[in-house]
Structure 1
Amino acid sequence: MKGRHKQSRDPKGHWLILILVLPVMFAVLLFEGWTTHEVDAATTRSPCTSPAPDAVARGGPVIGINAGGIQTASMPARTVALTFDGGPDPVWTPRLLDLLRQYNARATFFLYGSQAARHPELVRRIRAEGHEIGSNTYTGAVLGEASSARFSAELDLTRAALAGAAGLHPNLLRMPRITTPDTLCGREWRAARQAAGRGYVLVTADRASRKPAQGLVRQFSQTSIAYQQTRSLLRNPDVDRFTTVSAGLRLVPYTPATTGERWQGTALIQVTKLGRAFVSAMTWTLAIAGGLGLLRLALLGLFARAHVRRLESSRPGAPWLPEVTEPVTVLVPAYNEEAGIESTLLSLLASTHRQLQIIVIDDGSTDRTADIAESVGDRRVEVVRQANAGKAAALNTGLAHARYDIIVMVDADTVFEPDAVRRIVQPLAHPAVGAVSGNAKVGNRRGLLAKWQHLEYVFGFNLDRRMFEVLECMPTVPGAIGAFRRDALESVGGVSEDTLAEDTDLTMALWRAGWRVLYEESAVAWTEVPTSLGQLWRQRYRWCYGTIQAMWKHRGAVLARGVAGRFGRRGLTYIALFQVALPLLAPVIDVFALYGVLFLDPWLSAGVWLGFMGSQLVSARYALTLDGERLRTLWSMPLQFFVYRQLMYLVVIQSLVALFLGSRLKWHRMRRSGTAAEQIGGGAPYKSLPTR
């Protein structure tokens, strides 16, 4: 196991996936939001500042502008051009087509490009049944109010969508919010001239005073009311012919799209489908993630309260059981821990549990770790040196040198409270208990990153442990502070080297062997946490990667009976849902909150997000109260939502991708500063402790 402590190159595959996938998905989401929710204003008309030209206002509803000037036209007598705006609508377009077929009538459908991209099969049906297709812009934006970029996009994207759906370029345009020719006034007239410059013939509608017998262009939307009005008009005896605008005036309705344009249009349709599917998936994911998040908070609160009531009554290790006073062997695996090893040892030597054998296993350190441990000068401290083989191997070496039947495992950067050893071994009075988790707290809390980890330890880890004990499914006895029966350790073959989370792997193995695992929150130890994002990333990456490895290794517990089965079905299911699946889904809450602010109701979206954050604050406050911690740290929690949470999400993503790619992760060691005891008396009080 040489080089286990050396840093390895992180797998690059996950970054490649993120670089390729995330920008594409973000662009698709933005495009879907823009086309669906009409961002960039252009939804209402400004009052006209100048009237439409007389040739337009007094002319017919079909308007052309070319080198010869303005030309207008009207339908011949007893001829009606039925026109339908918007759509294609999946409900009313098929009904209108069926109605027109019943009366052997033809019509002109002015389509939204966005709807055409969503329902290309309806576009093809409209054309196949002999009807005409025109442009109604892409999203129905008011062209007179649109920016130049929006103006071009509205027309060009519609051309692309219709090219992909039906292989055509429309020559007819109906500008949204335009009815009769005189409504082409002010800014709308300027937009009309720009559209005509692109080759479009503008189609409005005749005034209400014009009769069908005179010939007219009739404008409908695609609604139930329009359906009834269309059916009534189709029965009018004064009309001989219901036709399209182009057929009635002998115009060219469209031009064929080129092969390249059809490919572009097909790509647009596929992007639109992808966007709709993505938004739909995000909506469902948001519901699932939000539900899981709230369920987790409810479960934590419920079982934390149950844990408190349980402590007030009885449980293994309660006063009615005999006090454990047996001697204890403390194992301290260490690799390059010269900054904190002395504080760790002195805190153990100050323990109120006097009968101790403290074994420091120096795992091939290249610094003064072993020398400092030997210089403590207490006969209870033994130093065992070995070649670098990893933490699991170091613990097994220490176990081989242990003289006593109760084993306490300690990280070399951890400082114990004086009564921590005595308290953590008390639950072992019950013969069914094989291991006990202590209460690891953050010692170096200076700086925002350390405060966030302090909140995570109290709110996440320790609140979880209270629930795990009530449900009898504690998945991890942390390496920082844990107590074990020696025969329990031997029954599972010692500490396994199969995973990077040797503490989780060991705990799960104990459950599968039939042992119970408890949590003793009064056994407090102070540990040093990473002080930089890089160190935090490497530490959590190893934790997450190793936990998933351990879950897979012990997946058989789900189908087991008795103690092992309860652990598997409860503990493994909880980890899979709330420590793997939920972090993968949780970014959707943030992304969809941003999507909602940009494209939906910003106040509602912000309210939902703030409500979710508020529920976490309430739960964190409860956790801090249970742990006897000051509440003032809560001020930093809202900031945690913008950096820390995202980092934890990426850790889970990276771990899963690394596993799927078959990458093998080696140990990532954190650089220590020896500040784990900052919260005890304001410094490292054990430096001046006299030796015995």
Structure 2
Amino acid sequence: MSEVFFWCAVLLLAHTYFLYPLSLFLLEGAAQVLKNARDGRRAETVNPGSGGQRALPSVSLVVAAYNEASCIQQKLENSLALAYPAERFEVLIGSDGSSDGTDEIVRACSDARVRLSPAPRAGKTTVLNRCIPMAQGDIVVLSDANTMIEPEAIERLVRHFEDPEVGAVCGKLRLYNPTKQDYEESAYWSYESLIKMYEGRRGAVVGANGGLYAIRRSLFTLLPPSTIVDDFVIPLRILDQGYKVVYEEHAVAHEETTEDYGKEFGRRARIAAGNFQSIRMVPGLLLPTAGFPAFAFWSHKLLRWCAPALMGMALVANLFLLDRLFYQFTLFSQVLFYALAYLGKTGVLKRGTAKKAASVAYYFVTMNLAIVVGFWRFLRNSQRAAWDRTARA
């Protein structure tokens, strides 16, 4: 039984982190081969630009803000400089009881495209429930106050809505650290972005990032006020309705990471609690009848959330298998990995490959510890829906 538990844990971990991304890559390759086979030697008969310029839809950029005085002016300037027809674009700032002058800065903006919707503090979900229905655009783009969007990003997002089957489009968020050029999250974030790209080609991106994504306003349904991770639940609900959620890698936004690792851990734990909470909001995606979206949800998300338990299972089961050399080696490998994570925490290693390996191991372990904390908060129902902005460098 120990051997069964060990290999179940190892294979499930291997699936969620390696085999699932590999399956996406292979599916994309197979789809491309089939497309080429259908086309044969025929010349392309459809030119995306030959049908004339279609009228762009109206767009509302909705930003939930809580005490964002340090960056809201920059956000307004960035938003108003986006390359989108002014008569079809508005910026709606939903202030969640800001008390640091955020509202005054927004009111001081003379551009008629900017609207402010202030209300007492109640949480981001309440802000979105208030602002998305009152938005004037057919397409709602959601973004964070500290996220800066590249000029062409909005148009690149909304062009996907020409397909009536598309319900949401996720942009690409690039994280940067002004003081550490090569930080731990960059490699993992690039890996996650690659998975989103391949999921998007199957029309099943499992969750968005709050920095930049777009939805059809008509598909938005009011969220329970206790919803913790709205940017995860909103696209999942659209996917659960049978619409595609795609990814536009050329719609880019930039966001600074934090130097406060304690607060960053708290943010991850909060997201983890919200992830567990979201399961009951999209029951259809748990069923095999949902097709590929269900496969993606189980492979990319549910198994990831089980990773701490699977890691513990692999370690404990391995302790009962030490009568064989192979399992002595697997135990040594696990212990070495956790030792590297500890070294990554202490910062003893100063440079080179060993430092990078320790840093990655530490990031991976803390990420999974945050899942454990988030699960405990979920069980106790102790995670607040209202959020606090994460301090930036």
User: Into which bin does the TM-score normalised by the smaller protein fall?
Assistant: 0.7 to 0.9
Structure 1 pair 664–320 and aligned structure 2 pair: CA distance change class (3 A): farther
Supply the AA of the counterpart residue of 1:343.
Answer: Q
The 2-side partners of 1:585 and 1:326 are apart by 46
Kept after mapping to 2: 8 A contact 1:558/1:569: yes
The 1-side partners of 2:71 and 2:34 are apart by 36
Supply the AA of the counterpart residue of 1:522.
Answer: H
Larger RCO of the pair (alpha carbons < 8 Å, separation 6+): 2
Kept after mapping to 2: 8 A contact 1:338/1:372: yes
Partner of 1:395: 128
**Superposition pairs of residues 297-446 of structure 1, within 5 angstroms:** 297-302=21-26, 319=49, 323=54, 325-355=56-86, 356-446=89-179
The 1-side partners of 2:293 and 2:141 are apart by 25
Structure 1 residues not aligned, in runs of 5+: 1-276, 613-632, 676-692
Secondary structure of the residue aligned to 1:463 is helix
Structure 1 pair 595–349 and aligned structure 2 pair: CA distance change class (3 A): farther
1:465 has 2:216 as partner: no
Secondary structure of the residue aligned to 2:183 is helix
Write out per-residue CA displacement over residues 497-550 of structure 1, whole angstroms, 9 at most, x where no aligned residue.
Answer: 342111221112112223221111100001233322211111111211111211
Partner of 2:216: 485
Write out per-residue CA displacement over residues 230-281 of structure 1, whole angstroms, 9 at most, x where no aligned residue.
Answer: xxxxxxxxxxxxxxxxxxxxxxxxxxxxxxxxxxxxxxxxxxxxxxx87884
Kept after mapping to 2: 8 A contact 1:303/1:470: no
Matched-pair identity in %: 22
The alignment of Structure 1 onto Structure 2 pairs a total of residues equal to 368
1:532 has 2:253 as partner: no
**Aligned mate of 1:289, from 5, 13, 38:** 13
Partner of 1:653: 372
The 2-side partners of 1:342 and 1:516 are apart by 34
Structure 1 pair 378–305 and aligned structure 2 pair: CA distance change class (3 A): farther
Structure 1 pair 278–445 and aligned structure 2 pair: CA distance change class (3 A): farther
Structure 2 residues not aligned, in runs of 5+: 338-351
Calculate the TM-score normalised by the size of structure 2. Answer: 0.79
Supply the AA of the counterpart residue of 1:533.
Answer: Y
Structure 1 pair 311–463 and aligned structure 2 pair: CA distance change class (3 A): farther
Structure 1 pair 337–545 and aligned structure 2 pair: CA distance change class (3 A): same
Partner of 2:340: none
Kept after mapping to 2: 8 A contact 1:333/1:360: yes
The 1-side partners of 2:279 and 2:259 are apart by 29
Supply the AA of the counterpart residue of 2:254.
Answer: W
1:512 has 2:240 as partner: yes
The 1-side partners of 2:211 and 2:114 are apart by 18
Residue 308 (structure 1) shift? 8.9
Residue 429 (structure 1) shift? 1.2
The 1-side partners of 2:226 and 2:292 are apart by 20
1:523 has 2:242 as partner: no
Partner of 1:569: 294
Partner of 1:672: 391
Residue 444 (structure 1) shift? 2.9
Q: Which range moved further: 577-586 or 538-547?
A: 577-586
Residue 367 (structure 1) shift? 0.7
The 2-side partners of 1:635 and 1:504 are apart by 35
Kept after mapping to 2: 8 A contact 1:289/1:585: yes
Kept after mapping to 2: 8 A contact 1:330/1:359: yes
Kept after mapping to 2: 8 A contact 1:473/1:566: no
Structure 1 pair 661–573 and aligned structure 2 pair: CA distance change class (3 A): same
**Superposition pairs of residues 103-182 of structure 1, within 5 angstroms:** none
Structure 1 pair 516–497 and aligned structure 2 pair: CA distance change class (3 A): farther
Structure 1 pair 320–661 and aligned structure 2 pair: CA distance change class (3 A): farther
Kept after mapping to 1: 8 A contact 2:201/2:247: no
Write out per-residue CA displacement over residues 144-189 of structure 1, whole angstroms, 9 at most, x where no aligned residue.
Answer: xxxxxxxxxxxxxxxxxxxxxxxxxxxxxxxxxxxxxxxxxxxxxx
Q: CA RMSD in A?
A: 3.9
Secondary structure of the residue aligned to 2:227 is coil
The 1-side partners of 2:212 and 2:355 are apart by 27
Write out per-residue CA displacement over residues 207-246 of structure 1, whole angstroms, 9 at most, x where no aligned residue.
Answer: xxxxxxxxxxxxxxxxxxxxxxxxxxxxxxxxxxxxxxxx
Structure 1 pair 320–339 and aligned structure 2 pair: CA distance change class (3 A): farther
Larger Rg: 1
Kept after mapping to 2: 8 A contact 1:286/1:585: yes
Q: Which range moved further: 524-533 or 578-587?
A: 578-587
Residue 666 (structure 1) shift? 4.0
Q: Which range moved further: 293-302 or 417-426?
A: 293-302
1:580 has 2:308 as partner: no
Secondary structure of the residue aligned to 2:93 is strand
Supply the AA of the counterpart residue of 1:390.
Answer: G
Secondary structure of the residue aligned to 2:306 is helix
Supply the AA of the counterpart residue of 2:214.
Answer: A
The 2-side partners of 1:603 and 1:474 are apart by 39
